[in-house]
């Protein structure tokens, strides 16, 4: 799925590649970067953390093939207040720097919330936390228990990819959406076109993605996922174990589960994550009026080439 935005005023030009996990975004982004002299800007809410490498599927130095990658390893796992607004601020500076050096920014990732915010300028005023609202939300959760806040978040943003048990991130997203400093109505932030962009949304059959996820899980264990997760848990505690993969390993260690059981739990979680990501990116297609509903490499290549050439001729 490909979409090009035509804008009347000069804006920074970027290529955006999104889609569910295991679809091949990183490899394709490197291909595009090598062809057009680009640099990759990651849009992944887990890969921003240092040390969360194997379990997040973070691209390796060899896989980068010499292409500079940005917005990876920028936050310590102990920093649990990193917000969407903070990500946008850093990413925007990075994009501007890439362009000023005569390179082409290529934004790639599966965190649709980040991609949507970058494309449309998620406008929530400063990046600082709203402690008063946070305490209110925490009190509501304590009073109602179960998935009260998660259900509230889903009503506001049905495409959220936050796990229903990740209370910290649930509260942080609600904080951003409901804070008075957001220039918005009750629950909807204000958006604006931030970039002149070509949007490429990669996808595949869910069954095929599930198969790829199963292979990735085996590769993660072979690469030392258990050891990595144990080290992170011992040093930083369970807070950094909230994402898919790490959470299942942490639970497995806590409850003495077998490696095979941990793998099966991971497969279930990946299936749910892929489903949520596909739902979000379909919403993003609608938001950007994408009319192509089947991912094809040749179509994407042609659209990106046309986009790059139009910038060179402008």
Residues 185-230: tens digit of each pLDDT:
333 333 446 789 988 999 999 999 999 999 999 999 999 999 999 9
Question: Whole-model pTM?
Answer: 0.80
Spatial CA neighbour of 10 closest among 287, 306, 314 = 314
- The pLDDT tens digits for 77-123 are 888 778 888 899 899 999 999 999 999 999 999 998 889 888 876 65
Spatial CA neighbour of 304 closest among 22, 33, 20 = 33
Pick the CATH number of 2-122+191-313 from 3.40.50.300, 3.40.50.880, 3.30.1540.10, 3.40.47.10: 3.40.50.300
| CA pair distance 109, 78, nearest whole angstrom | 23
Reduce the DSSP state of residue 72 to 3 states and report it: coil
**109 forms bridges with which residues in the sheet?**
18
Structure tokens at 209: 């993605």
**Ramachandran angles phi, psi of 167, nearest 5°:** -60, -35
- Give the rounded distance of the alpha carbon of 296 from its chain centre: 22
Domain with CATH 3.40.50.300 in the chain: 2-122+191-313
CATH class of 127-190: mainly alpha
* Per-residue confidence in pLDDT tens, the chain, 314 aa: 555 443 334 689 999 999 999 999 999 999 999 999 999 999 999 999 999 999 999 999 999 999 999 999 999 988 877 888 889 989 999 999 999 999 999 999 999 888 988 887 665 544 456 788 888 888 888 888 778 888 888 776 665 667 777 888 788 878 777 764 443 333 333 344 678 998 899 999 999 999 999 999 999 999 999 999 999 988 887 767 888 999 999 999 999 999 999 999 999 999 999 998 998 888 887 666 554 445 788 888 998 999 999 887 65
């Amino acid at each position: 799925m490909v979409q090009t935005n035509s804008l009347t005023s000069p804006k920074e030009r970027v290529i955006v590649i999104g889609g569910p996990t295991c679809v091949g975004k990183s490899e394709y982004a490197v291909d595009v970067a090598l062809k057009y002299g680009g640099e990759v800007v990651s849009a992944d809410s887990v890969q921003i953390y240092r040390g969360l490498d194997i379990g997040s599927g973070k691209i390796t130095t060899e896989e980068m093939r010499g292409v500079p990658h940005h917005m990876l390893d920028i936050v310590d796992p102990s920093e649990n207040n990193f917000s969407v607004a903070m990500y946008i601020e850093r990413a925007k500076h990075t994009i501007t720097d890439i362009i000023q050096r005569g390179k082409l920014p290529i934004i790639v990732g599966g965190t649709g919330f980040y991609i949507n915010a970058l494309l449309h300028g998620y406008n929530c005023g400063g990046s600082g936390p709203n402690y008063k609202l946070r305490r209110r939300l925490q009190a509501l959760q304590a009073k109602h228990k179960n998935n009260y806040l998660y259900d509230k978040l889903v009503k506001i943003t049905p495409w959220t990819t936050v796990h229903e048990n990740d209370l910290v991130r649930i509260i942080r997203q609600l904080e951003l959406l409901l804070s008075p400093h957001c220039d918005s109505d009750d629950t909807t932030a204000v958006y604006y076109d931030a970039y002149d962009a070509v949007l490429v949304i990669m996808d595949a059959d869910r069954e095929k993605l599930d198969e790829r996820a199963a292979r990735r899980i085996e590769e993660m264990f072979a690469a030392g996922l258990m050891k990595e997760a144990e080290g992170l848990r011992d040093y930083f505690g369970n807070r950094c174990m909230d994402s898919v993969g790490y959470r299942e390993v942490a639970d497995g260690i806590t409850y003495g589960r077998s490696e095979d059981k941990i793998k099966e739990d991971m497969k279930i979680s990946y299936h749910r994550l892929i489903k949520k990501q596909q739902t979000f990116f379909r919403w993003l297609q609608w938001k950007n009026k994408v009319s192509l509903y089947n991912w094809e490499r040749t179509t994407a290549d042609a659209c990106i080439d046309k986009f790059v050439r139009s910038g060179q001729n402008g």
